[in-house]
Amino acid sequence: MVGILAGCASLPLDVDRVPSRAIAGSEDTPLARIVASSLSKNDDSGFRFIPNGVYALDTRIELIRRAVSSIDLQYYLLANDTAGRHVMRALRDAAVRGVRVRLLLDDLYTAKEGDLLAGLAAYPNVEIRLFNPFPGLRVTLATRVISSLFDINRLNHRMHNKLMVVDGVLAIAGGRNIADEYFNSSVTGNFVDDDLLIAGSLVPHLADAFDIYWNSRYVYPLRALDGNVRSNPEARRKFETLTAEKGSQPAVRMPANDILGYGFVGRELDRGRIDLVPGLGFVYYDLPSKIGAGDIKGLNSVSFDVMSLMQAARSSLVICNPYFIPGERGMALIDEERARGVKINILTNSLSSNDAPLAYIGYARYREAMLRAGVDLYELSGKPFQHLKGFGDFRSSGGGLHAKQAVIDGTTVYIGSMNMDPRSRDTNTEIGIVVESPKLSRELLKIIELAEFGSSYRLRFGPDGHSIQWLDTHGAKAEIFTKEPESSFIERLKVDLLAPFAPEELL
């Protein structure tokens, strides 16, 4: 039965992909006037970190509400939860106002969102497309995989990009997907993550990156895959029920300021000016054709570009990444940097905060080598919100690191969707922003240092020079652990048993 289902599944051959391009920013739109008043004539672009999850969701909603011409969204995940429904309801409202909405999602996690996506697509001015979709039995992720067993090699490649462009003048890029856990709205577990609000000359380049994906042959209109997508009252009624205000408004408290001292973007938009840090920005992005490029070993990729940027460091390199698997190439870079006297500081997930045990196994293989090279190595606590102030209000929930960012020589910032692992290098498509700005670099260092010293363990060798110790940096009293802190014997045993079956190239 599985063989028959897998053999019958195929993508439609005759697909009508009507090309479209980003709508260029106009000086006459309200957001364009705000950007003009927020940047000086000498500024290339302006930037602002959004480390607080509640602020990050609020910023997206405020921009959507103020859009008058276009909204382009590109995400790996848009969940059918409170945050996801809140965003989709705001997109519906924008489309009803006459705003063109283009929503591009990776198809891996869209099974539970079928009715929501079909309902949103039933409104005028909305088009939804899916990247590298599953060909058949799209009801659940399990049925999708079973019916696609002969196509697994293609489906292993996913679009991991995160990007939103509004009216061609403001953009948000970074590590966050659209789901409760990325906005400190989950009662079970949240992520420490970050976004970058972007204005100025870099925004049109981000819009171009979106267009390249939107018009790619690897992207399929939702209507070509789902026969339920119709501009009919029934689809809209179901969407209205699913996104009713009671179930689509996150019930969270909003702090007066974030950890950098910034207030609500919405209030600043109301006053006609937003606080931005000037800088010179660049965008790196993988091409959609990366999924058909074969074994390129990371060449011509965001990973290669960012690694090259790090390789040019002269004095310091601070890395914050949830799944840090350096591999032989990364270790060679670390050894080379340390030999030149470059100070390296790395913050990543501990066993207790890591939501991907296999990725932790890959990282742990290089932990001792990094310490011997002289790397300052930190692992985030599995309960970061009990110690961190300013990242969110859910102190009782567990959490993990999801932010992907770095500071080079205290002057250059990287933030994006790319994990430092083989999957981001060779398999998934990614996007990253690089900004030359000492002030923005200082702000990011503040964010990382708060996580390191407020809710992380510093690793070091024990007296024997071989065993690893975890030094508690966030407790009222210093404490030393000789095993992975906040983990049980069963969790450590599971990792040990899985380790021989975790090939690095698949992590």
Would you state the pLDDT for residue 447? 95
Tokens in use for 475? 């407790």
First to last CA, the chain: 30
For tokens 């260029």, the residue is 24
C-alpha 293/C-alpha 443 separation (Å) is 37
pLDDT > 70: percent of the chain: 90
Catalytic annotation, pick one of 404, 421, 426, 474 = 404
CATH number of 286-506: 3.30.870.10
Alpha-carbon dihedral sign for residues 23, 27, 31, 37 = positive
Q: How does the average pLDDT of the chain come out, rounded?
A: 89
C-alpha 457/C-alpha 380 separation (Å) is 6
Q: Is 230 exposed, middle or buried (0-12, 13-18, 19+ CB in 10 A)?
A: middle
Average pLDDT over residues 273-287: 96
Would you state the pLDDT for residue 139? 72
Residues 129-156 pLDDT 10s = 999 998 866 777 778 878 777 788 888 8
For tokens 């002269």, the residue is 314
Would you state the pLDDT for residue 463? 94
Catalytic annotation, pick one of 58, 72, 107, 160 = 160
Q: Which pLDDT band holds residue 395 (cuts at 50, 70, 90)?
A: very low
Q: Is 328 exposed, middle or buried (0-12, 13-18, 19+ CB in 10 A)?
A: exposed
Residues 397-431 pLDDT 10s = 578 999 999 999 999 999 999 999 999 998 999 99
Would you state the pLDDT for residue 225? 85
Q: What is the DSSP letter of 449?
A: H
For tokens 């439609």, the residue is 12
Which has more pLDDT, 256 or 471? 471
Identical fold between 42-271 and 286-506: yes
**Is residue 466 among the annotated active site residues?**
no
Out of 132-141, 228-237, 490-499, give the one with best mean pLDDT: 490-499
**Is residue 389 among the annotated active site residues?**
no
Catalytic annotation, pick one of 335, 376, 409, 472 = 409
**Is residue 474 among the annotated active site residues?**
no
Catalytic annotation, pick one of 402, 421, 426, 474 = 402
- Residues contacting residue 479 through CB under 8 Å, at least 6 positions apart: 471, 472
Catalytic annotation, pick one of 157, 162, 383, 387 = 162
Q: Burial code of 12-48, b = ≥16 C-beta within 10 A, e = fewer?
A: eeeeeeeeeebbebeeebebbebbeebbeeebebbbb
Would you state the pLDDT for residue 152? 81
Q: Which pLDDT band holds residue 301 (cuts at 50, 70, 90)?
A: confident
C-alpha 263/C-alpha 266 separation (Å) is 9
Return the amino acid letter for 145. V
C-alpha 47/C-alpha 280 separation (Å) is 10
> Nearest CA to 291 among 163, 162, 423?
423
Q: Is 153 exposed, middle or buried (0-12, 13-18, 19+ CB in 10 A)?
A: exposed
3-state helix, strand, coil in the chain (%, to 5): 40, 20, 40
Q: Which pLDDT band holds residue 478 (cuts at 50, 70, 90)?
A: confident
Residues 67-110 pLDDT 10s = 999 999 999 999 999 999 999 999 999 999 999 999 999 999 99
**Is residue 160 among the annotated active site residues?**
yes
Tokens in use for 121? 């697509």
Average pLDDT over residues 464-491: 88
Catalytic annotation, pick one of 72, 107, 167, 258 = 167
C-alpha 77/C-alpha 133 separation (Å) is 13
- Does the structure show a pLDDT above 50 at 295? no
C-alpha torsion angle, residues 409, 337, 372, 501 (rounded to 10):
100
Give Dmax over CA atoms of the chain in angstroms: 71
Do 82 and 248 touch, CB atoms closer than 8 A? Answer: yes
Coil, helix or strand at residue 406:
strand
Q: Which CATH number fits domain 42-271: 2.40.50.140, 3.30.870.10, 3.30.470.10, 3.40.50.620?
A: 3.30.870.10
- Domain ranges in the chain are 42-271, 286-506
C-alpha torsion angle, residues 240, 246, 248, 252 (rounded to 10):
170
Enclosing H/E stretch for 400: strand 398-401
